[in-house]
Structure 1
Amino acid sequence: MNRESAPMVEYDTAGENIGVLRLHNGRDNMVDHAVFLDLTEFKQWLHHNPFKGLIITGNGRNFSKGANIERIRAYKDCPEILQKELNEGKKILSYIEGLPLITVAAIEGACFGAGLEIALSCNYRLAAEQALFSFPEITLGLLPGFGGTIRLPNLIGQRNAKKLILSGDMITGKEALRLGLVDETTGKREALSKAVDLIEGLAYRYTARQKECFDQIWDQPETDCWPMYEKESRYFTELIKTMDI
């Protein structure tokens, strides 16, 4: 196993030619910055490794408990700076979403807020049955600001997405499977190994030439949603001005 370190993330490998991006920031893997990785460094890592798939997971017990609310509060008097940072972070998620690779979020423990929004950028989500999911922003006077208001309805439908976002309720992996938020549930501490199995099970079916064709077809950046992502960032930062701190 090869490991390199970067702020808030670790670059790792698993299985046969599978990249692993680990969220690594304390016990809860809090997202301190919307720009949670260096995009240039990330692109170079992918360029220099012939990966057939990418897994995003959390280091330790949790995938991520979401954004660091104390840091968000610090932007109350300068929300335009956070708005710019959110848009830069969304470029990272859009890049992940458009990768010509099989991408899987392997989820254990808590997957809240910004952490869940990172997971939504993947093709597939595998989660332990007792993993916990939530968009708690509504309880803070905010809304999801990292692409969740767009990606979640696209995945599970507007009706279910509204209920999850507006209630702030916490659901288990089993309920997330029922809603279509995750594709498969696993036993405790099995999400990563199951993600490896999923990628290897899909990737072995095609030839090198077929992969080249798929790469050309799938390597198209998604631009249609970008005005919606920018609007979400603007509304998120407007709500910060009204936060009770």
Structure 2
Amino acid sequence: MNYENILTAFNNGITTITINRPNKLNALNKATIKELHDAFKSADANKQTKVIIVSGSGEKAFVAGADISEFADFDSKKGKKLAKKGQEILFNFVENLSTPTIAAVNGFALGGGLELAMACHFRVASNNAKMGLPEVSLGVIPGYGGTQRLPQLIGKGRAMEMIMTAGMIDANQALNYGLVNHVTTPEELLPLCKKIASKITRNSSVAISAAIKAINANFEDSVNGFKVEVKQFGNCFDTQDFKEGTTAFLEKRKANFPGQ
């Protein structure tokens, strides 16, 4: 599939999605959000894809925010529709993908950019990364899940401060907060993400999908995460991957998971 605002590549079980609007610092407009949805959906449906990495073109920005020009004249009704639709087709969609998704955060990850990174299953940052949710400086709040995911990741107090001050934190502070898992140089960002991804590809994609569902359940209202874990744990026993994994262990060899 051809895209106008993103690039995709596949190699060794890893699909890389690159937001490619460098002149706009990779800002998210409606068209880019739709293309990202399509690219994530396509990669998730491809059984050869074991891990998805998302990044921004260039070193200046992962995503420097949403394209404000598209909604500057919106009223309340249009604003609610914008947030709801965006969450449904991209941010919540990414969070609940069955394929592990890594955000390679290079440069600015602001507003919708940080919200996209937080929707991914975990994040790796270059040491030139700057992260923040500056929405209150525009008279609005984060609308793509930022007020929910940031406290989950770094705690209520720190999230309150970041959102209320509209300030940015650097990569090392993000690492200290637990917002990112690793910090490296810009040159080593994608290689490190691919190294981590390659470790993931060796494991059962079916079990990983089940783990994602169980982990996410803990953050859903009115859902008992322990019950979801029990269900997903039990489901694993009926899979080809479980049979291969246990057989390989008993035979003292590496497992060759069929992904079924």
**TM-score, length-scaled by structure 2:** 0.75
Deviations 1:51-101 (A, max 9, x none): 1101110011210110122222132xx442332232121112212111222
Matched length = 216
Alignment of 1:7-18 (within 5 A): 7-14=4-11, 16-18=12-14
> Who is 1:232 aligned against?
none
User: Following TM superposition, by how much is the alpha carbon of 1:25 offset from its aligned partner in structure 2, in angstroms?
Assistant: 2.0
> Who is 1:25 aligned against?
21
Following the alignment from structure 2 to structure 1, what is the Cα–Cα distance between the partners of residues 221 and 144? 13
Amino acid across the alignment from 1:187: T
Instruction: Sort the Cα spacing of 1:125 and 1:214 in 2 relative to 1 into closer, same or farther, 3 A.
Output: closer
Following the alignment from structure 2 to structure 1, what is the Cα–Cα distance between the partners of residues 186 and 208? 33
- Radius of gyration: which is bigger? 2
Is residue 203 from structure 1 mapped to residue 196 from structure 2 by the alignment? no
CA RMSD of superposed structures (Å): 2.4
> Who is 2:71 aligned against?
72
Of all paired residues, the percent bearing the same amino acid is 26
Following the alignment from structure 1 to structure 2, what is the Cα–Cα distance between the partners of residues 50 and 160? 39
> Who is 1:48 aligned against?
46
Following the alignment from structure 2 to structure 1, what is the Cα–Cα distance between the partners of residues 158 and 148? 13
Which one has more relative contact order, counting CA pairs under 8 Å at least 6 apart? Answer: 1
Extract unaligned runs of 5+ from structure 2: 223-260
Contact 1:86 1:145 in 2 (8 A): yes
> Who is 2:209 aligned against?
215
Following the alignment from structure 1 to structure 2, what is the Cα–Cα distance between the partners of residues 131 and 182? 11
Is residue 63 from structure 1 mapped to residue 57 from structure 2 by the alignment? no
Contact 1:35 1:89 in 2 (8 A): no
Following the alignment from structure 2 to structure 1, what is the Cα–Cα distance between the partners of residues 108 and 65? 9
Extract unaligned runs of 5+ from structure 1: 227-245
User: Following TM superposition, by how much is the alpha carbon of 1:29 offset from its aligned partner in structure 2, in angstroms?
Assistant: 0.4
**TM-score, length-scaled by structure 1:** 0.79
Q: What SS does structure 1 have at the residue aligned with 2:22?
A: coil
Deviations 1:206-235 (A, max 9, x none): 2xxx43344355458869369xxxxxxxxx
Following the alignment from structure 1 to structure 2, what is the Cα–Cα distance between the partners of residues 184 and 135? 20
1:84 to 81, 84, 95: 81
Following the alignment from structure 1 to structure 2, what is the Cα–Cα distance between the partners of residues 42 and 7? 15
Amino acid across the alignment from 2:28: V
> Who is 2:225 aligned against?
none
